[in-house]
Amino acid sequence: MDKLTLENFEQASELVKKVTLPTDLVYSEYFSSQTGCKVYLKPENMQYTGAYKVRGAYYKISTMTEEEREKGLITASAGNHAQGVAFAAQKFGCKATIVMPTVTPLIKVNRTKSYGANVILHGDVYDDACAYALKLAEEQGMTFVHPFDDLDVATGQGTIAMEIVQELPTVDYILAPIGGGGLITGVATLAKMLNPKIKVIGVEPAAAASMKAALEAGEPVTLPSANTIADGTAVKRVGEKVFPYVQENVDDIITVEDDDLVGAFLDMVENHKMVVENSGLLSVAALKQLDVKNKKVVCILSGGNMDVITMSSVVQHGLIQRDRIFSISVLLPDKPGELVRVATAIADAQGNVIRLEHNQFVSTNRNAAVELRITLEAFGTEHKHQIMQALREVGYEPREIGAKLY
């Protein structure tokens, strides 16, 4: 275990400055008030390629011989690593081939191509793309750049810890997302070198907690599935090479449910005006499980590459989850003035109608009941109850139903 040395980390920290933007810590009043700690954000979502991955890719290429670079680079990725390798290879003037699953969103494919990479679409999932990339590497003699199970790549990712400690020397906790283990390996190993008192916490999606499973087993294990909205960290098996460093340097693992990521997305957009992808939000979503007070905590926001449709879906689910959007069913007689009474009660309670469906055929006796389905905007759970109570007070019995925005 002599690859991750302080000398290499220092060298990498200087090198990656050529291809990274400064991501100075952002103090969060909101998350600090929620936790009782001083919470800082490390916004790697603001990098050129929208994620930290360019650090590891660039440092990895810098360690190669001219001969290895001339052979061309190849990797497999559906997202941030693809763009990181393509961008770094362009800076070194070497060819890069990226194998991406056929289901990769067009915007990610085009962005990767925009950095000069040759993109090959193959297979339905990452594993298929990776197997094909390894096959091409062997057949054509290209140099494979692994997304996470490579100690040079991990060294490059660890430069984040160097910047955190330089800017906030008294940091107590660093929270970092875990997918395959490259980021947490570099960050934890360097943080402990710089100050052994720093606690490094890894955060995984609960449905893809491959590092937690590996630590419990004492070795990497393969999960049966990794089904999570945090697609950038949906890894069934962590890296063999990086695992020993995680065992030695990571203090704890926190797992986060997808619902908590949805809430964290809303918090980030509303309080910091930043778009952070679901995987990048793991560190923020884990704050509510971090049982400490009066500590200085840094959350690494690992990336911000999220397509608009996904963003829209997450926002809608977040609003529903927090009762800021809800739907009710109200039965009322089919006679003039009833709709006005319902609307007036809602307006008096400061509710805002988003959608209205009037169904006259819910009962064969229309005089007894027609159904009104209303989707409303509220300030939260308490306000939702106030609106429903206002309807009861004028003689209706609202029944909450599943909210629909489309």
Q: What type of residue sits at position 34?
A: Q
Q: Please name the helix (run of DSSP H) or strand (run of DSSP E) that holds residue 173, with its range, or none.
A: strand 173-177
Residue 307 Rama label (left phi>0; alpha psi -120 to 50; beta): beta
Report the distance separating Cα 108 and Cα 124, nearest Å. 15
Please, are residues 352 and 387 in contact by the beta-carbon 8 Å criterion?
A: no
Catalytic option among 53, 60, 212, 236: 53
| Alpha-carbon gap, residue 87 to 74, rounded angstroms | 13
- Catalytic residue check, 302: yes
Angle, alpha carbons 215-220-226 (nearest 5°): 95
Q: Can you spell out the DSSP letters for 351-391?
A: -EEEEEEEETTSSS-TTT-EEEEEEEE-SSHHHHHHHHHHH
Q: Return the residue matching tokens 């809608």.
A: 316
Helix (H, G, I), strand (E, B) or coil at 118: strand
Query: Which of 283, 267, 233, 229 has the alpha carbon at shortest distance from 43?
Result: 283
**Can you tell me whether residue 254 is helix, strand or coil?**
strand
Q: Hunting for tokens 């660093």 — which residue is that? A: 174
| 120 SS3 class | strand
Task: Tell me if residue 399 falls in helix, strand or coil.
Answer: strand
Residues annotated as catalytic (active site), given as ranges: 53, 302
